[in-house]
Structure 1
Amino acid sequence: MNTLLERVQAVLSTTPERWQRLVSTLPDDLLTRVPMTGEWSALNCLQHLLDAERSLFPVRFRAFLAGQDFEAYDPRKPHPDLDAQHPEQLAVAFAQQRRESLVLLGQVRDDDLERTVQHPQFGTVTLAQLLHTWAAHDLMHTVQAERALMQPFMLNCGPWRSFFRDHEIAIQKQES
């Protein structure tokens, strides 16, 4: 099997487990805490990952296999059904969707990786690029969630706070 496929499958298979662990052990107030106006809470990151798992990556994956160009995707589109669910329900739904996605991913062969379609914003893209993006997207939003979770701890660690300056969301936004 192709190294890219192995790595992508490894990342995609671990993300639901990480989220299930987070939502089953952390209190809701920490999961829903917005670190700064305009930033996402950990819960917002999970909601977005579930939305992307339902309506973005598998849809685009199937488009590649069918040779169909992509339609636009709005990541800021509201999803009231996601807002109404408890974090543990979201993690379970995400895990189920991800299992289905991993079955789809198991259909990829090395020669499929060079398939191309047209993206409405980026032009010609390959399946390999989509797979790289899918894995990076998982990791990015998990790190983003963990950064949000870190904020109240970092802000209250006294003299050790200097060790965490690179991870303080408010400071980074002000300096940018």
Structure 2
Amino acid sequence: MSLYTSLSARLKTQHLTIEQLVAGISNDKLITPPTPGKWSALDNIAHLARYQKIFTGRMHQILNEDTPVFDRYNGDLDPQFSPFRSMNLAELLNIINADRTTIINLLSGLTDTELSRIGVHPKYGRLTILKWAEFFILHEAHHLFTIFQLVNGTE
């Protein structure tokens, strides 16, 4: 069990899509939520930046504890999310790029035994680190689609 090719490729490149999605988009459009109480495109990017740190912490917890159980992450309830929401696009992209390198290095350096370690997700149950990585990348893809919708005026 190792990082399979499609997962490895998406970990290395999927986050780079953000810059392409928002190229040429005004800051006003980036920061304007579709409706009051909903996240703007920039809020979604801030969430991705914050969640990478959450994910890395969870991977270390799975590696260091026996079958840790995690609560569902909710950015709106995370006091550490607020500083990310006040950052500009360039700052967020820098954090995402740097933290992605950390994630890739961490996951790529794990043995088959380590990739098989389990953490419990509140909705999806017992997931290996490999499945957590897939969940992470699919979660990111969901937010990329949301950003696409927001900046193209379809949401």
For residues 19-61 of structure 1, what are the alpha-carbon distances to aligned partners after superposition, in whole Å with 9 as ceiling and x for unaligned? 234455322112122223443221011000001011x211111
In the TM superposition, 1:101-140 aligns within 5 A as 101-119=103-121, 123-140=125-142
Comparing 83-92 with 108-117, greater Cα deviation is found at 108-117
Shift of 1:98: 1.0
In structure 2, what is the equivalent of residue 47 of structure 1?
46
Percent sequence identity is: 23
Q: 2:152, 2:108 → 1: CA distance?
A: 35
1:173 is matched with none
Instruction: Give the superposition deviation at 1:87.
Output: 1.1
Bigger drift between 139-148 and 70-79 goes to 70-79
Determine helix, strand or coil for the equivalent of 1:117.
strand
Counterparts of 1:28-47 in structure 2, within 5 Å, are 28-47=27-46
Question: SS at the partner of 1:108?
Answer: coil
In structure 1, how many angstroms separate the alpha carbons of the residues matched to 2:19 and 2:47? Answer: 15
2:149, 2:137 → 1: CA distance?
Answer: 18
TM (norm. structure 1) is 0.72
- Root-mean-square deviation (CA, aligned residues, Å) is 2.4
The change in CA–CA distance for 1:74 and 1:40 in structure 2 (over 3 A counts) is closer
Per the alignment, residue 10 of structure 2 pairs with 11
Letter in 1 for 2:139: H
TM-score by length of 2: 0.81
Q: Give the AA of the match of 2:117.
A: R
Q: How many residues align?
A: 151
Instruction: Classify 1:122/1:138 alpha carbon distance in 2 versus 1 (closer, same or farther; 3 Å).
Output: closer
Letter in 1 for 2:33: V
Instruction: List per-residue Cα deviations over 1:103-123 (Å, max 9, x = no partner).
Output: 111113344343223345654
Distance change >3 Å, CA 23–CA 90, structure 1 → 2 = farther
Letter in structure 2 aligned against 1:64 = I
- 4+ residue segments displaced more than 6 Å: none
1:64-143 alignment runs, 5 A limit: 64-68=62-66, 69-72=68-71, 73-76=73-76, 77-78=78-79, 79-119=81-121, 123-143=125-145
* Cα distance, 1:91–1:134 mapped onto 2, change above 3 Å: same
| Structure 2 counterpart SS, 1:25 | coil
Query: How far apart are the structure 2 equivalents of 1:83 and 1:117?
Result: 28
What CA distance in whole angstroms lies between the structure 2 residues aligned with 1:92 and 1:22? 16
The structure that is helix-richer by fraction is 1
CA contact (8 A) 1:12 1:138 kept: no
Counterpart code for 1:74: N
Preserved CA contact (<8 Å) 2:21 2:147: no
- Max Rg structure: 1
Aligned 8 A contact 2:70 2:119 in 1: no
